[in-house]
Amino acid sequence: MHFSPDRPAFFINPDYRPMAGANKPVIDPATLETVGVIAPAGDSEIDAVLTAATKAQAAWKKLDAKSRAKHLHAVANAIEAADFTRCAELMVREMGKPYPEAIGEIANCAPIFRYYAEMARDDAGKIAGTTQAGSFQYARYEPYGVSVHIMPYNFPILLMCWTVAASLAAGNACVIKPAEATTLSTLDYMTVFRSLPEGLVSCLPGGAATAQALIASERTHAVAFTGSVAAGKAVAVACAERMKPCVIEAGGSDPLIISQHAPLEIAAAGSVTAAFHLTGQVCTSAERFFVVDAVHDRFVDLFAERTRALRIGNGLDKTEIGPLVSEGARAKVMRLVDDAIANGAVAVTGGRIPPAHNTGWFYEPTILTGVTPDMAIVREECFGPVAAICRVKDFDEAIRLANDSPFGLGASVFTTDLAEAHEAAERLEAGMVWVNNPLIDNDALPFGGWKASGLGRELGRQGLDAFRRSKMVIIDHKPAIQDWWYPYPDSWFRETGGRKHV
């Protein structure tokens, strides 16, 4: 069966299979037109996926590291050779992302498969200094079994590849549960896995009930989740009840500090992308701005000038700002902006639905000044095209207010003062800190948050360790009776009142 957006399907490598559930339309957030249909997985589809995954993993875990790496390089080759035009267009029409961002995300996932192919070959265990002469003592790493990957809508392909590549390299089979809003593009992408053994990778559409069923199953053994804090907590609790390891990336409300030593032209340009990339629907979007008083007004002028130049429209047109993913997403943004304005904030730009885009879930990129730390827009994750600016007296106050949050995913700083850069890296309570270049990631460095923003890490060595467990091994190649084995010699006891005590 070939994949068609008009026929609900799920994927068990290498085949698409029809689904029996009730059709649910996929709506374009820019035009409100129907893009295609999906259906939630039922018990029979879940059973088919887990049966295939269990069988495939039994053979996959026995492969040597070099053979496994060869398979992952074949996936990377398939990504580099594929034409992803349709996949990118589906993503744009499903969730509103501008086409250059969609095609870039989809086409640039090959390196993560190559990275983990070689990382797993290079890092398969550890030989420790022995605690006993004649004893060989080491740790080996082994896969969990079948991993579940519960994906978000904002970067459905990239974030899926991050954890799937690591899990496959560790020796697991993978079951992908895509976000409902980006099911079609995720399914379309599955063809890159066709060189892998049958059943090793599956894609199972559905909502929360499907995710819950996969987490609860005794035939799954590890979970990777990216999404909201509330859903992340639910996933963590469900995994804890089953002693099942999980990686949770639960979003945030990232701070961005503009120091009095900031290169303001560069800071303004970088802030536009940090705040408004993907219409602000990025977990690491800069939402809370702390601008030192000495440069506040000049920075706001430059920031606003660049923001007003952004083009709003359908992601298939020449645009930077597409629609929000849904009516509910826009409603949350509007609630937080309206509340801030009602409490004294000023909308320097935006603060409204663009008059030329009444159809679809559009919202103008918005800069708010006069924001105070007690406002809801500072306390909650907005996840929309809004930069909330607080004026602060100095760098220390900026750091203090940046840390005054339940979240701790990323944090950004613009400064040319080396001391401030190092101070920020040390003092900011976040899993990632960017100085003068926000939102950058690196396959070889851990990605994840502190506090309510998550548990565990993706990418880097830690991203591989998330999908494998260690086993300590002790081998004495010259068996001998040890002096500490039972029975103890009498000389080990002491006598007290006619009784011997150890």
**Residues labelled as active-site residues:** 249, 283
Closest alpha carbon to 72 in 200, 185, 175: 200
Euclidean distance between CA atoms 274 and 279, whole angstroms: 10
Q: Which two tokens stand for residue 470?
A: 């260690």
Cα–Cα distance for residue pair 364/148, rounded to 1 Å: 36
Other Cβ atoms less than 10 A from the Cβ of 98: the count is 23
Contact call for residues 267 and 291 (beta carbons, < 8 A): no
Contact 177, 160 (CB under 8 A): no
Question: Do the beta carbons of residue 286 and residue 381 sit within 8 Å?
Answer: no
Report the alpha-carbon distance of residue 219 to residue 146 in Å, rounded.
7
Backbone phi, psi, residue 201, to 5°: -125, 135
Residue 374 half-sphere exposure, CB side, CA atoms within 13 Å? 2
Contact present, 144 and 467 (Cβ < 8 Å): yes
Half-sphere exposure of 262 (CA within 13 A, CB side): 32
* Helix, strand and coil in the chain, % to nearest 5: 40, 20, 40
